[in-house]
Structure 1
Amino acid sequence: MSFTVAIIGRPNVGKSTLFNRLVGKKLALVDDTPGVTRDRRPGDAKLVDLKFRIIDTAGLEQSSPDSLQGRMWAQTEAAIDEADLSLFVVDAKAGLTPADKTLGEMLRRRGKPVVVVANKSEARGSEGGFYDAFTLGLGEPCPISAEHGQGMLDLRDAIVAALGEERAFPPAEDVAETNVDIRADIGSEGPGEEEIEPVYDETKPLRVAIVGRPNAGKSTLINRFLGEDRLLTGPEAGITRDSISVEWDWRGRTIKMFDTAGMRRKAKVQEKLEKLSVADALRAIRFAETVVIVFDATIPFEKQDLQIVDLVIREGRAAVLAFNKWDLVENWQELLADLREKTERLLPQARGIRAVPISGHTGYGLDRLMQAIIETDKVWNRRISTARLNRWLESQQVQHPPPAVSGRRLKLKYMTQVKARPPGFMISCTRPLKLKYMTQVKARPPGFMISCTRPEAVPESYTRYLINGLRNDFDLAGVPIRIHFRASENPYESKARKKR
């Protein structure tokens, strides 16, 4: 991006609405309640022919530095220092307040370019507030309506005038052409044909979501990874509301990490704002590749912890457990043995899931946590050749043949990998029910489609038998596995219908 813009203003003037308008997506939470935004949220904005990086910030509230409002304002000040230009948003409908004048004086002392934005100018009676904005002494205000998209051309011209043509429109960079490889949903290889298993790319960016109950230490953990107070933290539960993404490098690899709001039990979530925060956290889980579920080591394996892990597994994400606040544990050897036993017993759907004791406050165990994330992502991206899968499927049927349903035995024909998320296994079968062969689905995590006879009659117990075998024989521990059964086409079916 060519330059960075910070959106500044007191609470409830429409900063997040303007942010969503400029990025073209509803990324930031918007509500009539003042003070919804707490952390600073970055995004890629486009305004006509301008492309820049934009930062949404919390509103100014006069308070002590140690309070939650004071820590929120510290995040806003960091965004002002980082930005090249500030959009000072005022409410034209309500007019100027003492907080607006205090903020305008502070921006004037900073000496950076400022554009005064008179939002809600479409409202009746907003002319008075618009003309009051001249008294701030920061230039001519720009009347807009962030909710309805009015005045965006004027805002574009004001930004260019404040920064200058050269700064607003840097020289274009040469972009190399790339070849896009579009693959079919189902592999073209047939049963028994060998294929090359792809090598895991150690350099590709990795998307990681941090989830857990409120006050488990998620934001503190990310701040320790970054080495700075990037996210708002404190003893209060439920500080984080938006799902904030941050990028950093770990051993030369780009990591995009999402901090999410704490998820309480559904029965306790009553307020509209908390429902929006939880929905934003669920979107972050679906977008991520690996999800770290943060447990409070002092009170681990609450019912909500187990429900969050089950949610992540059902979404098909690679999961890693992080037992945080390990610095508060006294008998750590005894607790570690107890946690291992409970992990195996309470999470059978994710057998072999990696669990790491950490401390976001001191930094203990963070390298091991990142290594567990990388190893789990390798398993999540693993592909097994069709030939190996079919040999394995044949041996599994020899050891434990498929059951007979209504006097006819199932037959697994073949198994192939298809492109799907979450992954599973495909077994080819015929009618009467005979499982023929099995192949893996091109999916992440490893998923497979099996062609078989009468797929609707395959019992759940035999599906679990195949999943457990796949975990043990192909080292697929800690990731969800789903097997999808599909009936093969009968070439004589049309002839039989004609005879009837």
Structure 2
Amino acid sequence: MSKVAIIGRPNVGKSTLFNRLVGRKLALVDDQPGVTRDRREGEARFMDLTFTVVDTAGLEEGDPQTLVGRMRAQTETALLDCDAILFVIDARAGITAADRHFAAAVRRVGKPIIVVANKAEGMAGRDGAYEAFGLGLGDPIAFSAEHGEGLGELYDALLEALPPAARLDPDEDDEAAPLVLGEEEDGSELDPEKPLRIAVLGRPNAGKSTLLNRILGEDRLLTGPEPGITRDSIGLETEWRGRKLKLFDTAGLRRRSRVVEKVEKLAVADALRAVRFAEVVVLLLDATIPFEKQDLTLADLVEREGRALVIGLNKWDLVDNKSDKARELRAEADRLLPQLRGARVIPVSGLTGAHVDKLLEAVVATHEIWNTRISTGRLNRWLAPVIDSTPPPAVSGRRIKIRYITQPKARPPFFLLFGNSVETIPESYKRYLVNGLRETFGLFGVPIRLSMRSGGENPYAPKKRRNS
């Protein structure tokens, strides 16, 4: 698919334009410059054009070893990999020395360039758009990403700049194409053709981006010693052993009391959204300081959202006595996370690549458990001896009679218990049943939902004969 890179200095509205083209608020937007750091890709369907649009960090000069320098390297990679460039300026600010400097750099790439004079609404904006002729990059488009003004002119420019393959074949498109793509489907049904959605969650500096770069086999995400580099939840597709994966990098999550800046609050909200759209969450811990209070809070969040969980112990290359430490931490996980008992705990090193395949094997296996469906017959053959050996306690002198159990849905496994006064069953007995389900049917590392419903006849009970 053709690629269009959005380039420009910080705070000219690149991410707002990106969101406009993909039809969703994927990229974080704020008045503060430099919000975008990693390059983010999204699929755009613009009239009869379809292409991948790439949001990039602002073009800034900096030493290659600094954060700014590494951000610029990501942007330069996007320039080399695209078919056309949207060079965005702030029409209200007019042409700056930085715009002229970067226009010269973009010209040297040798790709089709479309100058987008953003924020061109109003008289001041139109005057700034006229100034953009001085860049020598062709006719600028007076545009407003926030209000959607200038979309027709942008379409015409993209139609001319992109290869013919970017245009949809009308014979293959029976329905009228929307302006842009809509919200992505939830994917509630298991489909082997759909990528398995995996969110990587953890505290700042746990090594999430480094691990994902190792899985992808390239330096796709910005990394470094500075905590809090990642802000956007970037979704990246790859394949592993023939299985399609969609990996979501997320911002490091600190205690809520420490999150005070608006941009970090936006990043946290974006990370939580990634968890809700994921199927499996890899909770990445720093193996040198594992199971901090925030780690347990994040694991609890995963359980509440009903996602499958795999725990990754990153920076394993820094750990001594590895075998003893691994056994100790697996036991610690079961003790501290009883609601997700049996969750797979995988030592891994994003830096060296050690055990990355084991981590992905655990993800795929846990995903299968998350999709498990158990027949009503098997469930009731398990239930009968369980309640015979340990019946539910009477409540206010009233005996509780459990009739049968069934599983109406998976993702995560959800069970319904029928009987008389079952809504009064105490929490301790519910935990007893959940633990029995987990142990008997191997439902490790996934949340289990158990709901009670009064009434109902057991379809598996022996039928009574009628007297003739």
Same fold (TM over 0.5): yes
The CA deviation at 1:107 is: 1.5
Identity %: 60
Q: Who is 1:370 aligned against? A: 360
Say which of 450, 461, 476 aligns to 2:428: 461
What aligned pairs does 1:88-487 form with structure 2 within 5 A after superposition?
88-163=87-162, 166-169=164-167, 171=169, 205-412=195-402, 436-487=403-454
Task: For 1:411 and 1:78, locate their aligned partners in 2 and report how far apart those are by CA, in whole Å.
Answer: 66
1:203/1:252 contact within 8 Å kept:
no
Task: For 2:172 and 2:360, locate their aligned partners in 1 and report how far apart those are by CA, in whole Å.
Answer: 35
Give unmatched runs, 5+ long, in structure 2. Answer: 175-187, 458-468
The CA deviation at 1:330 is: 2.2
The CA deviation at 1:174 is: 5.2
The CA deviation at 1:326 is: 0.8
Q: Who is 2:460 aligned against? A: none
The CA deviation at 1:344 is: 1.9
1:208/1:290 contact within 8 Å kept:
yes
The CA deviation at 1:202 is: 6.4
Q: TM-score, normalised by structure 1?
A: 0.86
Task: For 2:439 and 2:126, locate their aligned partners in 1 and report how far apart those are by CA, in whole Å.
Answer: 71
Task: For 1:203 and 1:29, locate their aligned partners in 2 and report how far apart those are by CA, in whole Å.
Answer: 29
The CA deviation at 1:450 is: 1.5
1:48/1:153 contact within 8 Å kept:
no
Q: Encode CA deviations 1:145-165: one digit per residue, 9 max, x unaligned.
A: 00011111111011112236x
> Greater shift after overlay, 355-364 or 449-458?
449-458
Give unmatched runs, 5+ long, in structure 1. Answer: 177-184, 186-197, 413-435, 491-500
The CA deviation at 1:49 is: 2.6
What aligned pairs does 1:28-107 form with structure 2 within 5 A after superposition?
28-107=27-106
The CA deviation at 1:175 is: 8.5
Structural RMSD (CA):
1.9
The CA deviation at 1:103 is: 1.4
1:381/1:444 contact within 8 Å kept:
yes
Task: For 2:194 and 2:95, locate their aligned partners in 1 and report how far apart those are by CA, in whole Å.
Answer: 49
Return the letter of the residue paired with 2:420: T
Task: For 1:489 and 1:392, locate their aligned partners in 2 and report how far apart those are by CA, in whole Å.
Answer: 19
Return the letter of the residue paired with 1:237: P
2:119/2:144 contact within 8 Å kept:
yes
Q: Encode CA deviations 1:454-492: one digit per residue, 9 max, x unaligned.
A: 2431110110110011011111112111101122379xx
Q: Who is 1:190 aligned against? A: none
The CA deviation at 1:130 is: 1.0
The CA deviation at 1:201 is: 7.3
What aligned pairs does 1:483-494 form with structure 2 within 5 A after superposition?
483-488=450-455
Corresponding residue SS for 1:264: coil
Return the letter of the residue paired with 2:395: V
Q: Who is 1:25 aligned against? A: 24
Return the letter of the residue paired with 1:460: E
Task: For 1:12 and 1:454, locate their aligned partners in 2 and report how far apart those are by CA, in whole Å.
Answer: 61
Task: For 2:453 and 2:135, locate their aligned partners in 1 and report how far apart those are by CA, in whole Å.
Answer: 69
2:48/2:168 contact within 8 Å kept:
no
Task: For 1:290 and 1:116, locate their aligned partners in 2 and report how far apart those are by CA, in whole Å.
Answer: 41
Q: TM-score, normalised by structure 2?
A: 0.91
Corresponding residue SS for 1:105: helix
> Greater shift after overlay, 20-29 or 333-342?
333-342
